[in-house]
């Protein structure tokens, strides 16, 4: 048995039994039913379950490989994205070689959609899809674990209290990623643990140290490991975030009490909301492979951050949110050199934000606005973390 057997995705010979197991579960039928026919499912769940079960058996019968599964599911994903976005665009694919696997270190705003969008773009462009790193908090539910591991996901062990156990888990993970790339499989991984709920996209140097572990054991320097891993930063920009209100509530709770306790099933709710909610325009930007001479984890992380921030795309709602934060803080949020969107589009964005803010408590307003403004503020050279404390204090006074 390989050390990575307990974290790896399902292999081709495991696909059909797992599909059968999923199709037979009412919870899975409900998940698909809400996605495909939300209104009908609300009033006639039993009928929708029957229809979903029949459709899935027709679509997914006799599949014997992961690649074939992704090929069959791709039109459904495209239809879902078409129904929940206004446009999907991408850039930077000319930086990639189709015959060279990459480690995509990505901004992380949505639990499932971030890697799904990267794989969708790669698939549409004729590139192989990636293996996906996911936290073990997402696989507590066996149904979710089956769904993720069918889609090339492998598990990142978190919250290990024993230092020896933690080191062994990270070494196994590092080795599995290195092995995947060596076997020709690209890998998607978030630049930090968990989503950047505040939209401050910062790479955790601990991720870089973990990636280096298996190389370091073999006497390979960090600089050489970065070259071998072929690290490519990726920035994913959403015009609208279906989970924006939930993120604002969590951020405000953390600020006020120092903690936030998730409800049972909250991650699944976020997954469903992210998939089914309206996202407006979406852009996926692939950066350039990191160069040589990066001799510390901090320098590698900074190089990833620079690319992701530079690749981020901003929409009128981001500028409107920055203006509202400036008004609250009685400051000039954006330098005069920043090119603002057309006035009509900016006015509509302000009106949209006003409507969303009415659904939240005043204490949550600055955190909600930060979801849309923070990346733009950082790109303008402002220290967002310095800005938000006085804003939050003002909101709660």
> Considering the chain, what percentage of its residues have pLDDT values greater than 70?
94
pLDDT at 3 over 70: no
Q: Are strands 281-286 and 231-238 parallel, antiparallel or unpaired?
A: antiparallel
Within 10 Å of residue 292's Cβ, how many Cβ atoms?
9
Question: What's the mean pLDDT in 83-104?
Answer: 94
Instruction: Lowest mean pLDDT of 26-35, 323-332, 372-381, 388-397, name the range.
Output: 388-397
Domains and CATH numbers, the chain: 65-240+278-311 (3.40.1130.10), 316-396 (no CATH)
Residue 185 has a pLDDT of 96
Tokens of 57: 């058996």
Collapse the DSSP code of 321 into the 3-class scheme (helix H, G, I; strand E, B; otherwise coil) and give the result: helix
Q: Which long-range contacts (CB under 8 A, 24 or more apart) does 206-212 make?
A: 206/297, 207/105, 207/301, 208/297, 208/300, 208/301, 209/297, 210/170, 210/173, 210/174, 211/103, 211/174, 211/177, 212/174, 212/297
Question: What's the mean pLDDT in 48-70?
Answer: 90
Instruction: Lowest mean pLDDT of 11-15, 217-221, 282-286, 377-381, name the range.
Output: 377-381
pLDDT at 390 over 50: no
pLDDT in tens, 72-81: 999 989 998 9
Full DSSP string of 233-272? EEEEEESS-TTHHHHHHHHHHHHHHS--PPPTTHHHHHHH
Burial label, 157 (beta-carbon count in 10 A; 0-12, 13-18, 19+): middle
Q: Which residue has the tokens 């459709």?
A: 55
Question: What's the mean pLDDT in 336-346?
Answer: 88
Alpha-carbon distances, residue 215 vs 190, 220, 221 (angstroms): 20, 5, 7
Regarding predicted confidence, which is higher, 328 or 110? 110
pLDDT at 357 over 60: yes
Instruction: Lowest mean pLDDT of 81-85, 265-269, 322-326, name the range.
Output: 265-269
Q: Band of the pLDDT at 204, cuts 50, 70, 90?
A: very high
Q: Band of the pLDDT at 387, cuts 50, 70, 90?
A: low
Q: Is the dihedral of CA 55, 58, 59, 65 positive or negative?
A: positive
Beta bridge partners of 305: none
The residues, ordered by sequence, that sit 6+ positions from 7 with a Cβ below 8 Å of its Cβ are 154, 155, 156, 157, 172, 173, 176
pLDDT at 394 over 50: no
Under a CB-based contact definition with an 8 Å cutoff, are residues 179 and 173 in contact?
A: no
Entry pTM: 0.91
Average pLDDT value over all residues in the chain: 90
Beta strands in the chain (DSSP E): 87-91, 103-106, 131-135, 153-156, 187-190, 231-238, 281-286
Question: What's the mean pLDDT in 169-174?
Answer: 94
Under a CB-based contact definition with an 8 Å cutoff, are residues 305 and 204 in contact?
A: no
pLDDT at 41 over 50: yes
Question: What's the mean pLDDT in 147-173?
Answer: 89
Question: What's the mean pLDDT in 158-163?
Answer: 82
Collapse the DSSP code of 44 into the 3-class scheme (helix H, G, I; strand E, B; otherwise coil) and give the result: coil
Under a CB-based contact definition with an 8 Å cutoff, are residues 203 and 191 in contact?
A: yes
Instruction: Lowest mean pLDDT of 96-110, 143-157, 260-274, name the range.
Output: 260-274
Instruction: Lowest mean pLDDT of 4-18, 26-40, 316-330, 360-374, name the range.
Output: 26-40
Under a CB-based contact definition with an 8 Å cutoff, are residues 309 and 375 in contact?
A: yes
pLDDT at 324 over 70: yes
Beta bridge partners of 285: 91, 235
pLDDT in tens, 213-269: 999 999 999 999 999 999 999 999 999 999 999 999 999 998 888 888 888 878 888
The values of phi and psi at residue 41, to 5°, are -65, -35
Distance CA(225)–CA(251), nearest Å, equals 36
Residue 385 has a pLDDT of 60
pLDDT at 271 over 60: yes
Under a CB-based contact definition with an 8 Å cutoff, are residues 48 and 40 in contact?
A: yes
Q: Band of the pLDDT at 305, cuts 50, 70, 90?
A: very high
């Amino acid at each position: 048995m390989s050390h990575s057997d307990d974290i790896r995705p399902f292999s081709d010979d495991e696909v059909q039994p797992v599909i059968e197991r999923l199709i037979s579960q009412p919870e899975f039928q409900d998940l698909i039913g809400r996605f495909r026919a939300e209104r009908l499912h609300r009033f006639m769940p039993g009928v929708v379950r029957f229809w979903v079960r029949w459709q899935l058996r027709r679509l997914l019968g006799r599949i014997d490989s992961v690649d074939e599964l992704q090929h069959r599911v791709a039109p459904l994903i495209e239809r879902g994205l078409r129904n929940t976005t206004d446009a999907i665009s991408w850039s930077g694919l000319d930086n990639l070689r189709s015959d060279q696997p990459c480690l995509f270190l990505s901004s992380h705003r949505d639990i499932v959609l971030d890697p799904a969008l990267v794989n969708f773009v790669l698939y549409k462009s004729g590139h192989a899809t990636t293996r996906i790193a996911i936290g073990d908090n997402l696989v507590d539910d066996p149904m979710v674990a089956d769904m993720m591991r069918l889609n090339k996901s492998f598990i990142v062990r978190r919250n290990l209290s024993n230092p020896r156990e933690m080191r062994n888990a990270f070494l196994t993970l590092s080795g599995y990623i290195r092995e995947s790339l060596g076997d020709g499989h690209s890998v998607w991984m978030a630049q930090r643990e968990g989503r950047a709920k505040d939209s401050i996209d910062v790479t955790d140097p601990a991720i870089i140290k973990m990636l280096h572990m298996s190389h370091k054991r073999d006497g390979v320097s960090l600089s050489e490991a970065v070259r071998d891993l072929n690290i490519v930063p990726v920035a994913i920009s959403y015009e609208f975030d279906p989970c924006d209100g939930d993120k604002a509530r969590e951020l405000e709770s953390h600020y006020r009490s120092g903690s936030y306790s998730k409800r049972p099933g909250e991650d699944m709710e976020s997954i469903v909301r992210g998939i089914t909610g309206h996202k407006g325009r979406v852009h996926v930007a692939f950066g350039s492979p990191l160069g040589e001479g990066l001799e510390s984890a901090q320098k590698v992380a900074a190089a990833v951050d620079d690319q992701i921030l530079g690749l981020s795309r901003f929409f009128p709602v981001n500028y409107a949110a920055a203006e509202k934060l400036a008004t609250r803080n009685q400051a000039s949020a954006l330098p005069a050199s920043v090119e603002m969107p057309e006035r009509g589009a900016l006015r509509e964005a302000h009106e949209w934000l006003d409507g969303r803010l009415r659904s939240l408590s005043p204490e949550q307003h600055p955190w909600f606005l930060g979801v849309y403004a923070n990346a733009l503020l950082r790109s303008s050279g402002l220290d967002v973390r310095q800005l938000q404390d006085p804003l939050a204090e003002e909101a709660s006074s």
